[in-house]
A and B are shown apart, each in its own frame.
Chain A
Amino acid sequence: MIHTEGLTRRFHDLVAVDAIDLHVEPGEVFGFLGPNGAGKSTTIRILTGFLPATSGRALVAGHDVARESLAVRRRIGYLPESVALPIDARVEEYLDYRARLKAVPARDRARLMQHALEVCGLVPMRRRILSQLSRGYRQRVGLADALLADPPLLILDEPTGGLDPAQRQEVLDLIAALKGKRTVLFSSHVLTEVEHVCSRVAIIQRGRIVASGTRDELERSAGHPGEVAIEAAGAGERLAQSLSRRGIAHDRLPPDGCVAHLGAQGDPVGLLAALVGEGLPIGRFEPRTRSLQQIFLELTRT
Chain B
Amino acid sequence: MSRPLLPLFWREIESLFFSPLAYIVLTIFLVLNGFSFYSALELSGGVVDDAIALFFGDSPLFWLCLVAVPPLVTMRLVAEERRSGQLEVLLTAPVRDGEVIVAKFLGALVFQAFLWAPTLVYVAIIRNYGALPDPGQILTSYLGIAAVTALLTALGLLFSTLTNNQIVAAVASLTCNLLLLLVPMMGSSVGFAALAPALEHVSMTQHFAGSFSRGILDSATLVFYGASTLGLLVIATRSLELRRWR
Contacts and interface: CB of A to CB of B under 8 A. Distances in A.
A254 to B, nearest CB: 55
A73 B244 contact: no
A86 interface: yes
Interface in B1-25: 3-4, 6-8, 10-11, 14-15, 18-19
B14 A73 contact: no
Given A52-B245, A98-B93, A101-B95, A45 B88 contact: yes
B3 A86 contact: no
> Which of B3, B7, B19 has the most chain A CB within a 10 Å cutoff?
B7
A89 B86 contact: no
Given A48-B92, A89-B14, A100-B3, 16 more contacts: A51-B244, A70-B94, A70-B96, A73-B93, A80-B89, A80-B92, A84-B84, A84-B86, A85-B86, A88-B15, A98-B93, A100-B6, A100-B7, A101-B94, A102-B94, A103-B94
Q: Interface size bucket, A side?
A: 20 to 34
A45 B10 CA distance: 27
B85 interface: yes
B84 A101 contact: no
B91 interface: yes
Contacts of B4: 100-101, 103
Interface string B78-112: 00000011101101111110000000000000000
B93 to A, nearest CB: 5
A88 B22 CA distance: 14
A30 interface: no
A84 B92 CA distance: 13
A97 B94 contact: no
Interface of B: 3-4, 6-8, 10-11, 14-15, 18-19, 84-86, 88-89, 91-96, 244-245
Interface in A244-266: none
A49 B92 contact: yes
A241 interface: no
Top 10 A-B pairs ranked by shortest CB distance? A84-B85, A88-B18, A100-B7, A73-B94, A48-B92, A84-B86, A74-B94, A78-B92, A84-B84, A101-B93
A76 to B, nearest CB: 8
Nearest to B93: A101
Interface of B: prevailing SS: helix
Contacts of B14: 88-89
A50 B91 contact: yes
Nearest to A44: B92
Interface of A: 45, 48-52, 70, 73-74, 76, 78, 80, 82-86, 88-89, 97-98, 100-103, 142, 145
Contacts of B88: 45, 50, 80, 84
B93 A84 contact: no
16 contacts: A50-B244, A70-B94, A73-B93, A73-B94, A74-B94, A76-B92, A78-B89, A80-B85, A80-B88, A84-B85, A86-B11, A89-B14, A97-B10, A101-B8, A103-B3, A142-B89
Contacts, number: 64
Nearest to A82: B85
A52 B244 contact: yes
Contact of A97 (B7, B18, B19, B96): B7
B239 to A, nearest CB: 15
A88 B10 CA distance: 13
A296 to B, nearest CB: 27
Contact of B7 (A49, A74, A101): A101
Given A88-B14, A97-B11, A73 B84 contact: no
A288 to B, nearest CB: 44
> Which of B15, B91, B93, B245 has the most chain A CB within a 10 Å cutoff?
B93
A70 B10 CA distance: 22
B111 to A, nearest CB: 14
A85 B15 CA distance: 12
A84 B93 CA distance: 14
A100 B84 CA distance: 22
B233 to A, nearest CB: 19
A257 to B, nearest CB: 54
A91 B225 CA distance: 40
Nearest to B4: A101
A100 B93 CA distance: 11
A84 B18 contact: no
B3 A50 contact: no
Nearest to B84: A84
A50 B245 contact: no
Contacts of B10: 97
